[in-house]
Amino acid sequence: MNIKEFTNNKVIDESKQGQATVIKNDSENYTKSLYIESYGCQMNFSDSEVVASILSKEGYATTKNIDQADVVLINTCSVRENAEQRVRNRLQEFKKRKKDNPGLVVGILGCMAERLKHSLLEEEKLVDLVAGPDAYRDLPNLIVTVDGGQKAVNVLLSREETYADISPVRLDQGGVSAFVSITRGCDNMCSFCVVPFTRGRERSRDPETILKECKELFEQNYREVTLLGQNVDSYRWNLDSNGSPKDGHIESVNFHQLLEKVALIHPDLRIRFSTSHPKDMTDDVIQIMTKYKNICPYIHLPVQSGDTEMLEKMNRGYSREWYLERIESIRRIYPNCAISTDIISGFCGETEEQHQQTLSLMKEVHFDFAYMFMYSERPKTLAERKYADDVPIETKNRRLTEIIELQNKHSLESNQKQIGQIHEVLIEGLSKKSSDYLCGRNGRNSMLVFPKLKGLEKGMYVQVKINSCTSATLLGEIVL
């Protein structure tokens, strides 16, 4: 079964290849071309825009034509094994291109870069340079090193780097939605996750730089921003781990305060955020969401498993009961809020009874949609060192299928409840299936498709009455 069908049209491992060409300013002298592909989480796509900004100052314009590129960079993901294999296959294609263009510089960025630097550079000879998530400022020097005939590597992790002073080059010029990173790294140390080892410790970005970036995006006609972090709820500027102001600092900002500051930029700027962690999400966040219409009524709250023993083994920091209490708070404070989640099937030692606990939690919560995967052991993680990956692949597959089928049922039921309602939709562009239709998302993050009318353009808000649906899409018509 193709998992892509059940992820609300967001495919975690999907690449966006050479997304757009940078608009060149008259004052800048672009003499070289950069081609970037991004794989994995939203943070990687955001990082690629930081990379494009850094290299634009060195005379590189981004291109969506790989044949024009002087430098090819691929921003990678190590969260699952199949993501890494897709990148390897793509690097093999680049290696063939270098035979016809020996001067082409091929580099790998992101999480895979840190983890597989030696293999990719020396053993397989697939790349010329390797740069980890905290080393992007060094890319100009790394490229010069490669031009000099040497391989180049920088995968050092930082306790301070946030790229807060860099204005990202938007790779989707003319788009309506943008990602804005508010934290980097992660301190949670979930036993299945490689992110703390590839992205380093968690650090928060200066709120003034976040607000500045969001204001600039609105002025550039973007109408939606997603505040990004591995755990946005733990955002703390000048706050200690207990949430108290650090000595000597007058202003301190936590996540719900930052959320309010961004919402106040303009009522027509939609605000989303991802990802929330159940152990850190407070009622303050939910209450701020209800206060501002432009903060979308949607929370992504990964559960991973419905069994407390499994959650403890995953080092998630909460129990089944704690998670359900957070769901109850969301439903009580903000009844119209959509909720999505992440679920892993077949984690180390998972029994059939524990799998059934996950299914029962899904039935109790009734998620609007979910991202669902089978467990894939990742090197360096606690799970890889401490637990046996002992659930047979056939069992993982079967359990994943059961999870997907149940979620597909719940997604359809959730969408059916919205039939007859009128929703405000931000137009994202033409429907993929027909140029006679437009598409966009409502605040609950549901995709809507509706007939195109004259004068409507992406970036506009319209009122759409929902007439029918599938498990993934709402179908409707504009209400004038």
CATH of the domain at 91: 3.40.50.12160
Task: Say if residue 195 is in the same domain as residue 142.
Answer: no
CA distance 228 to 237: 15
Contact 404, 3 (CB under 8 A): yes
According to DSSP, the residues that pair with 130 across neighbouring strands are 108, 153
Among 373, 398, 415, give the residue marking a domain's end.
415
Q: What's the pTM value of the predicted model, to 2 decimals?
A: 0.87
Query: Residue 174's pLDDT is what?
Result: 74
**3-state SS, one letter per residue, for 350-403:** CCHHHHHHHHHHHHHHCCCEEEEEECCCCCCCHHHHHCCCCCCHHHHHHHHHHH
Q: Which residues contact residue 230 at a Cβ distance below 8 angstroms, ignoring those fewer than 6 apart? A: 43, 183, 185, 186, 188, 195, 199, 202, 275
Q: Is residue 168 part of a domain?
A: no
Task: Say if residue 8 is in the same domain as residue 145.
Answer: yes
What is each CA distance from 86 to 74, 75, 83, 221, in whole angstroms? Answer: 11, 12, 5, 34
Query: Residue 104's pLDDT is what?
Result: 94
24: DSSP letter: P
Task: Say if residue 386 is in the same domain as residue 238.
Answer: yes
CA distance 429 to 448: 11
Task: Say if residue 33 is in the same domain as residue 117.
Answer: yes
CATH code of residue 452 = 2.40.50.140
CA distance 354 to 360: 10
Query: Which residue is it, tokens 């709820």?
Result: 233
CA distance 295 to 283: 15
Residue type, 91: L
CATH code of residue 395 = 3.80.30.20
Among 139, 154, 169, give the residue marking a domain's end.
154
Task: Say if residue 369 is in the same domain as residue 426.
Answer: no
Query: Residue 242's pLDDT is what?
Result: 59
Strands 270-274, 224-228: pairing is: parallel
| Burial of 169 per CB tally in 10 Å (0-12, 13-18, 19+) | buried
Among 360, 386, 415, give the residue marking a domain's end.
415
Query: What does the angle CA 111 – CA 115 – CA 120 come to, to the nearest 5 degrees?
Result: 105
Task: Say if residue 330 is in the same domain as residue 436.
Answer: no
Name the token pair of 92. 């093999």
Contact 442, 450 (CB under 8 A): no
Task: Say if residue 441 is in the same domain as residue 377.
Answer: no
CA distance 246 to 122: 45
Query: Residue 112's pLDDT is what?
Result: 83
Task: Say if residue 184 is in the same domain as residue 331.
Answer: yes
Cis (ω within 30 of 0) for the bond into 470?
no
Query: Residue 323's pLDDT is what?
Result: 98
Strands 338-345, 369-374: pairing is: parallel
Q: Is residue 169 part of a domain?
A: no
Question: Which ranges of 116-169 does DSSP label H, i.e. alpha helix?
Answer: 117-118, 139-147
Task: Say if residue 241 is in the same domain as residue 304.
Answer: yes
Contact 75, 14 (CB under 8 A): no
Contact 171, 21 (CB under 8 A): no
CA distance 372 to 390: 19
For 408-432, letters b (16+ CB in 10 Å) and e give: bebbeebbeebeeeebebbbbeebe
136: DSSP letter: G
Q: Which residues contact residue 324 at a Cβ distance below 8 angstroms, ignoring those fewer than 6 apart? A: 361, 364, 365
Strands 105-110, 437-441: pairing is: unpaired
CA distance 480 to 477: 9
Query: Residue 26's pLDDT is what?
Result: 38
Q: Which residues contact residue 286 at a Cβ distance below 8 angstroms, ignoring those fewer than 6 apart? A: 299, 329, 330, 333, 334, 337
CA distance 403 to 408: 9
476: DSSP letter: E
Q: Is residue 317 part of a domain?
A: yes
According to DSSP, the residues that pair with 469 across neighbouring strands are 474
Q: What is the pLDDT of residues 405-426, one digit of tens each?
A: 999 999 999 999 999 999 999 9
The dihedral built from the CA positions of residue 4, 10, 16 and 21, taken in this order, carries a sign that is positive
Query: Residue 175's pLDDT is what?
Result: 85
Q: Is residue 166 part of a domain?
A: no
Q: Is residue 427 part of a domain?
A: yes
- Residue 229 dihedral angles phi and psi, to the nearest 5°: -170, 155
Q: How many domains does the chain have?
A: 3
168: DSSP letter: P
Q: Is residue 163 part of a domain?
A: no
Task: Say if residue 281 is in the same domain as residue 338.
Answer: yes
Task: Say if residue 74 is in the same domain as residue 102.
Answer: yes
Q: Is residue 297 part of a domain?
A: yes
Query: What does the angle CA 233 – CA 234 – CA 237 come to, to the nearest 5 degrees?
Result: 115
User: Domain range for residue 451?
Assistant: 422-478
According to DSSP, the residues that pair with 107 across neighbouring strands are 73, 129
Write out residues in the chain with pLDDT < 70, as ranges. 1-28, 239-250
CA distance 460 to 223: 8
Q: Is residue 273 part of a domain?
A: yes
Task: Say if residue 94 is in the same domain as residue 229.
Answer: no
